[in-house]
Amino acid sequence: MINNFIFDLGNVLVDYNPMRCILGYTHNISDANYIASEVFASPEWVELDRGTLSYEEALERWTSRIPERLRDDVRTIVNNFHKHLPEKKEMTEIVKRLKASGKKVYILSNVSERFPLIVEGLEVMDIIDGYVASYQEKTVKPSPEIYSIILGRYSLKPEESIFIDDNADNVLTAKKFGMAGYIFDGDAAKLEATFVKHGFLEGSDENTNTEISEEIKND
């Protein structure tokens, strides 16, 4: 029986959309695409999540290799990015229902030292039973170490746990640990229907579509 629900944060519980943030500070689409590539898709971004690089060091690297005219924009965008991660309210409602049914809920996220700022004010943080943030552990998904950490820290049995993430590789590693897994595609209604189908939640609508292709298997 699945009793433990482990959720990713970005693009699962909050809306991670770098372009929305970037376009809040520059209206030039070409510049926005360039910044997205040079900053948010950079090796430094991964190092920030791993906790092996500070934002000051990352900004120094980024501004050293981008055109001077964009440096102030990049500083502003990076320093304010955490303000542009709205909570996915429909996912929070699913978490509430899981908790109300007696389930345990956790977060396992690749996230930087700005995690406290990112989650400040999020309703879901008052509901969950615990979390593991990658920057604190100096390792990121899909490295096996971080899965071992959350299972050990909260004494979770893999066979009683399911991991929900938008990244297929991250879900695959969870399955290798014996957990069930679900690749989240942004459709909260489909996730809810899957949970209802497998008996994790009671159906809230008799017309809920249970013709779901994703099966939450741990094979």
Three-state SS at 126: helix
Instruction: State the average pLDDT over residues 78-89.
Output: 97
Residue partners of 13: CB distance under 8 A and separation at least 6? 7, 87, 88, 91, 92, 95, 107, 122, 124
With a cut of 60, say whether residue 210 has pLDDT above it.
Answer: no
Instruction: State the average pLDDT over residues 51-56.
Output: 97
With a cut of 90, say whether residue 141 has pLDDT above it.
Answer: yes
> Could you count the other beta carbons within 10 Å of the beta carbon of residue 160?
14
Q: Which CATH architecture has domain 4-15+86-197?
A: 3-Layer(aba) Sandwich (3.40)
pLDDT value of residue 217: 59
With a cut of 90, say whether residue 94 has pLDDT above it.
Answer: yes
User: Number of helices (H) and strands (E), helices first, in the chain?
Assistant: 11, 5
pLDDT value of residue 211: 36
Instruction: State the average pLDDT over residues 62-81.
Output: 97
Q: What is the mean pLDDT of the chain?
A: 93
With a cut of 60, say whether residue 186 has pLDDT above it.
Answer: yes
Domain boundaries, given as residue ranges, for the chain: 4-15+86-197, 18-84
Tell me which residue has tokens 């990049």: 74
With a cut of 60, say whether residue 204 has pLDDT above it.
Answer: no
Model's pTM, two decimal places?
A: 0.92
Band the pLDDT of 209: cuts 50, 70, 90: very low
pLDDT value of residue 207: 42
Three-state SS at 108: strand
